[in-house]
Amino acid sequence: MSEVRIAAEPRTEFGKGAARRVRRAGKVPAVLYGHGTQPRHIALPGHELMLALKTPNVLLRVDGVEGRDNLVLPKAVQRDPIKGFLEHVDLIVVKKGEKVNVEIPVNLVGEISSGGVLTQELVSVEVLTEATHIPEGVDYDVSGLEVGVHVTAADLDLPAGTELSGDPEAMVFTISSERTDEELAEETETGESGASAETSGGDAEQSASE
């Protein structure tokens, strides 16, 4: 898995005003916690952190906190809802050999048999895995699968040392038959008929109110 070294600065001022000043300086307010330690308030370089967070479950080695580096995982990331820039990050300290719960992406590869339509219901699964060896994702080969096939989370072949911690019955994907031109036309006609009925009903209500 990816590991990124990043330098931190301690924060001694708190509150919304202090956080705004940190962000204006191109840094992101963050809190470091875990393993029975008191939460430590730090600031991280915004651009470097943004690039690092593009990798799911990135492992950060944070320097400059109490004279030592810390292995951490991003636990909660707050972004501006409009502009998308980082506002705050919670980081949890981890150690080699420790198991953590994380979500990893599900990647479907290959092409199904003709005549089928694949619908992916689940794009990630929750797993329990070693903190310093989090898999980047899990692949599932759909090559040649036919109509009627459905795959749940329990069917995924997870990497060694990783086990499913989410719902094993959660549906990952299904393959259904393609709709014919007649079925599509019938759906269109049904939709238009329903819309016409609603319009007529609305006109009738309006006439009655007048």
Reported as a single tens digit per residue, the pLDDT across 156-165 is 999 888 999 9
Distance, in Å, from the CA atom of 65 to the CA atom of 93, rounded to the nearest integer, reads 12
Q: What is the pTM of this model?
A: 0.70
Percent of the chain with pLDDT over 70: 83
Task: For residue 70, name the pLDDT band (cuts at 50, 70, 90).
Answer: confident
Which regions of the chain carry the CATH code 2.170.120.20?
Answer: 101-177
Which regions of the chain carry the CATH code 2.40.240.10?
Answer: 3-94
Reported as a single tens digit per residue, the pLDDT across 133-168 is 889 899 999 999 999 999 999 999 998 889 999 999
Q: 133 and 1 in contact (C-beta within 8 Å)?
A: yes
Q: What's the chain's average pLDDT?
A: 84
CATH class of the domain comprising 3-94 = mainly beta
The pLDDT score that the predictor gives to residue 151 is: 95
Q: Does the domain formed by 101-177 have CATH 2.30.38.10?
A: no
Distance, in Å, from the CA atom of 126 to the CA atom of 107, rounded to the nearest integer, reads 14
The pLDDT score that the predictor gives to residue 128 is: 95
